[in-house]
Amino acid sequence: MNKINLPQAAKLTSPNPVSVVCTMKPDGSTNLATVSWWTYLSFNPNMIAYAMAKTSYSGEMVRNTKKVILTIPGAEIADAVMGCGSTTGRNMDKAEKFGIELAEIEGNSIKIPFHSRVAIQCSLKEYYEVGNHYLYICNVEQVYGNDAEEALFAWNGYSQLRPAK
């Protein structure tokens, strides 16, 4: 074994998961941000967790509204998902900028990318400071799936987004 740094370890563990975190902005529109680190936490009750940099606009939104939908994007929107991971929604509508078609979820004002394999609708339970990130612990309210969409994964660390097969 050789000594390596964590980003190098992330390359060795590729493919890594990719999600799009959907939150509501003050004007009612949806912000989309690419997040690789998330996990199932508990199946009774259903809970998930994800972590985002303290500076992220999405973090500010979920801490304010306590609502978030974590989605697994479909392969068709790979380039747009990379775009959502390299820009902030603070002064921009990412769905419009990257041409992401949005879909509504019943009874929810947060929209999701139409091309999603899974959508996990959550309420924020609590969050913890972890270095330069916050770890968000969420209660799952509803889960949606569409196996016709092929899930995206991050390859070569986080530099490429494509399916696992």
Ligand X SMILES: Cc1cc2nc3c(=O)[nH]c(=O)nc-3n(C[C@H](O)[C@H](O)[C@H](O)COP(=O)(O)O)c2cc1C
Applying CB under 6 A, the residues found at the interface with ligand X are: 18, 31, 33-37, 51-53, 56-58, 82, 85-89, 154, 158
- What's the helix, strand, coil split of the chain in %, to 5? 20, 45, 35
CA–CA separation, 82 and 161 (whole Å): 7
| Minimum distance from residue 27 beta carbon to ligand X (Å) | 14
CA–CA separation, 21 and 125 (whole Å): 16
| Minimum distance from residue 142 beta carbon to ligand X (Å) | 23
| Minimum distance from residue 106 beta carbon to ligand X (Å) | 25
| Minimum distance from residue 28 beta carbon to ligand X (Å) | 16
Nearer to ligand X, 56 or 116 (CB): 56
Give residue number: closest CB to ligand X. Answer: 85
132's CB contacts (< 8 A; 6+ apart) are 53, 54
Total length of the chain: 165
Nearer to ligand X, 2 or 129 (CB): 129
Nearer to ligand X, 5 or 86 (CB): 86
CA–CA separation, 82 and 97 (whole Å): 12
Nearer to ligand X, 45 or 73 (CB): 73
